[in-house]
């Protein structure tokens, strides 16, 4: 069941209505059952995998809390092995096997291990990470165990963020299931507005750009450099609107029922450095890696070479988290390299700024920084989007020729794309740099405010792509 479907619309209306009709004590059960239904609408059998990790982590956390010393650590390791083991089996088994075969082939040997026809459980990486954060926090003593099995299961399965995040922390989400959420029409409307904006980003911008991007990236050999360059820039906006659109719908859906999920995107298009970009992009994952991987391996409080190593490790694993393909690993590597390179060259870039005096022209400097960051991130995304490393290399080679005229199939697709991006940037620019100024979305006048949102709905119906299908991040 995807958010941009009528199936979900009816599901959402029914669940939300029942949620407020039911007494507080029964609400967890409603949410748990509806979350099961939501998940089973994809591939029903995979709920067993989810159920297995829930049971393992539920008991592991209790054992961790009740034990001390090495035993405590042992339970944590057991829980992590179970979670990572499932993730590795379903997501990386065939990838590892392929690379193993390649390695053996180099020595003239054949691989006896069979390939398996495995369908990746939807959202596996998301709910596994969320479950792991619970046991780790219990181990660290920052979170008390949740003894109510149903509420713990709901923490892992809460349907708005079950399949594509935000990846929540127990400290933020668990207690909310025990709180009584009163019906507040202002909050309901606020949630609905976030949903509308999320749908707009997904249907009008992401899926529209997706038509052009897919056309170019799925036929790399037939496309010229300029077309691939445009498709690459479009993809940056597509993936942002697709994923942040999903997050908005998740956050809005939860908000309607009184739950506050963490912010997952903070206008990454306006990041001034690649380091800042990761503080604005997929925040729930970035902070997860920071808290549970980067800091435990030493973070920046180690020798300089080790610091660089730590950064690279985090980004390479982040790449692998996204998918079992070398393209993702390279994508992660490039982004790690950006950070390391920025640290190494900081004094030179500072010198360059003072010599040229560009930093004395704040607006120009800001524009320059944002543009460079956007281009660097877009470049790395060639690997993120390309089907194979070979394709990605071909795309880069073709782009560097800067040759050919931009492909246009005669329809108005490019015009739609530019209009959509213009609309997005206008809204985001306003939010980023002109916060206190005139606003339509939060105008004091009811009719002005709601005219804006009904205009968005009309644009969704008029310009939305209703055949666009799944969200990109579902595959992870």
Partner 1 sequence: MIEVYKKLSIKKGYQYLLLKIAAFLLLAFITDFISGSILRSFYFKQTSGWEYRTKYSIDGTRADVLIFGASRAQQQYNPLYFEERLHQSCYNVGRDGEPFFYYYAVLKAVLKRYTPKIIILDIENGVFKESQDSYDRMSILLPFYKSHPEMRSIIELRSPFEKLKLQSQIYPFNSMLFKIAIGNTEMNKKRNQDIKGYVELRRVLDEPIRTVDFLKNKYAIDSNKVNFYRSFIKDCKQANVKLYIVCSPYFIHAVGTDISMTIAKEIAGENNIDFVDFAKDEIFLNNSKLFDDTVHINVAGSKIFSNKLIDTMILKNKIF
**Residue of the chain from 1, 11, 16, 20 that contacts partner 1 (CB under 8 A):** 20
Q: How far is the CB of 27 from partner 1 (least distance, A)?
A: 10
Residue 259 in contact with partner 1, rule: CB under 8 A: no
From the candidates 181, 282, 322, 443, give the one annotated as an active-site residue: 322
CB of 430 vs partner 1, minimal distance in Å: 22
For position 188 contacting partner 1 by CB under 8 A, the verdict is yes
Cα separation of the two ends of the chain: 16
If you search the block for the tokens 């691939």, which residue do you land on? 228
Q: Which of these segments, 157-165, 233-241, 395-403, 411-419, binds partner 1 (CB under 8 A)?
A: 411-419
Q: Which stretch binds partner 1 (CB under 8 A): 50-58, 178-186, 317-325, 363-371?
A: 178-186
* CA dihedral (153, 159, 161, 162) positive or negative: positive
Whether 11 contacts 257, CB under 8 Å? no
149, 183, 402, 434: which one contacts partner 1 (CB under 8 A)?
A: 183
- Give me the least distance between CB of 179 and partner 1, in Å please: 11
Tokens for 333?
């590597």
Contact residue for partner 1 among 14, 21, 81, 116 (CB under 8 A): 21
Rounded-to-integer distance, Cα 68 and Cα 58, Å: 17
Stretch near partner 1 under the rule CB under 8 A, chosen from 21-29, 216-224, 285-293, 332-340:
21-29
> Among 384, 379, 282, which residue's Cα sits nearest to residue 323?
384
- Scan residues 427-456 and list those touching partner 1 (CB under 8 A): 446-447, 450-451, 453-455
Interaction between residue 103 and partner 1 (CB under 8 A): no
Stretch that binds partner 1, among 16-24, 212-220, 268-276, 392-400 (CB under 8 A): 16-24
- C-alpha gyration radius of the chain: 23
271 and 286 in contact (C-beta within 8 Å)? no
Question: How far is the C-alpha of 288 from the C-alpha of 127, rounded, in Å?
Answer: 12
Whole-number Å distance between alpha carbons of 108 and 119: 30
Query: Quick one: which of 185, 437, 444, 445 contacts partner 1 (CB under 8 A)?
Result: 185
Site string for partner 1, 135-174 (x = CB under 8 A): ----------------------------------------
In 3D space, the residue among 60, 73, 81 whose CA is nearest the CA of residue 140 turns out to be 73
Task: Say whether residue 467 binds partner 1 (CB under 8 A).
Answer: yes
CA dist 29 and 24 (Å) reads: 10
Paired tokens of 250: 């998740």
Catalytic: 443? no
**Among positions 110, 117, 182, 405, the unique one binding partner 1 when judged by CB under 8 A:** 182
CA 396, CA 447: separation in Å to the nearest integer?
Answer: 49
Give the residue with the Cβ less far from partner 1, 103 or 458.
458
Among positions 464, 471, 472, 473, the unique one binding partner 1 when judged by CB under 8 A: 464
Q: Is 29 in the site for partner 1 (CB under 8 A)?
A: no
Kindly state the smallest distance separating residue 260's Cβ from partner 1, in Å.
16
Token digits of residue 140: 């660290």
Torsion of CA 21, 26, 28, 32, to 10 degrees: -90
Q: Is 20 exposed, middle or buried (0-12, 13-18, 19+ CB in 10 A)?
A: middle
Helices 413-433 and 225-256, axial angle in degrees (round to 10): 50
Rule CB under 8 A: is residue 234 a binding residue for partner 1?
no
Q: Does 118 bind partner 1 (CB under 8 A)?
A: no
Backbone angles phi, psi at 59, to 5 degrees: -75, -35
Active site residues: 322
List interacting residues with partner 1 (CB under 8 A): 6, 20-21, 23-24, 180-186, 188-189, 411-412, 415-416, 446-447, 450-451, 453-455, 457-458, 461-467
């Amino acid at each position: 069941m995807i958010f941009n479907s009528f199936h979900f619309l009816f599901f959402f209306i029914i669940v939300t209505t029942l949620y407020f009709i039911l007494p507080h004590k029964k609400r967890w059960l409603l949410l748990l059952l509806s979350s099961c239904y939501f998940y089973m609408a994809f591939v029903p059998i995979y709920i067993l995998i989810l159920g297995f990790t829930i049971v393992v982590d539920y008991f592991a956390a209790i054992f961790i809390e009740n034990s001390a010393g090495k035993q405590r650590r042992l339970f944590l390791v057991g829980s992590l092995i179970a979670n990572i083991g499932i993730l590795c089996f379903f997501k990386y088994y065939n990838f590892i096997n392929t690379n193993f075969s390649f390695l053996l082939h180099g020595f003239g040997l054949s691989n006896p291990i069979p390939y398996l026809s495995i369908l990746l459980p939807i959202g596996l990486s998301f709910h596994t990470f969320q479950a792991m954060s619970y046991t780790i926090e219990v181990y660290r003593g920052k979170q008390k165990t949740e003894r109510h099995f149903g509420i713990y299961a709901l923490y892992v399965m809460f349907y708005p963020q079950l399949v594509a995040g935000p990846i929540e922390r127990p400290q933020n989400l668990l207690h909310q299931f025990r709180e009584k959420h009163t019906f507040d029409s202002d909050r309901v409307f606020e949630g609905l507005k976030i949903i509308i904006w999320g749908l707009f980003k997904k249907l009008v911008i992401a899926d529209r750009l997706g038509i052009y991007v897919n056309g170019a990236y799925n036929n790399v050999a037939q496309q010229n450099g300029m077309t691939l360059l445009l498709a690459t820039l479009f993809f940056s906006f597509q993936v942002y609107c697709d994923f942040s659109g999903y997050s908005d719908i998740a956050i809005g859906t939860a908000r309607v029922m009184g739950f506050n999920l963490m912010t997952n995107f903070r206008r990454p298009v306006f990041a001034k450095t690649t380091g800042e970009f990761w503080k604005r992009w997929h925040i729930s994952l970035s902070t997860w890696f920071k808290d549970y991987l980067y800091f435990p391996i030493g973070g920046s409080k180690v020798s300089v070479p080790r610091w660089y190593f730590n950064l690279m490790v985090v980004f390479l694993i982040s790449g692998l988290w996204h998918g079992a393909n070398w393209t993702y690993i390279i994508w992660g590597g490039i982004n790690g390299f950006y950070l390391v390179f920025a640290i190494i060259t900081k004094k030179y870039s500072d010198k360059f700024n003072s010599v040229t005096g560009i930093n004395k022209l704040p607006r120009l400097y800001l524009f320059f920084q944002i543009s460079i960051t956007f281009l660097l991130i877009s470049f790395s995304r060639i690997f993120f989007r390309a089907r194979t490393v070979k394709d990605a290399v071909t795309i880069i080679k073709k782009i560097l020729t800067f040759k050919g005229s931009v492909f246009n199939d005669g329809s108005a697709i490019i015009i739609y794309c530019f209009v959509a991006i213009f609309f997005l940037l206008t809204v985001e620019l306003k939010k980023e740099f002109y916060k206190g100024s005139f606003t339509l979305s939060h105008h004091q006048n009811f009719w002005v405010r709601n005219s804006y949102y009904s205009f968005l709905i009309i644009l969704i119906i008029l310009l939305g792509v209703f055949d666009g299908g799944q969200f990109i991040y579902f595959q992870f």
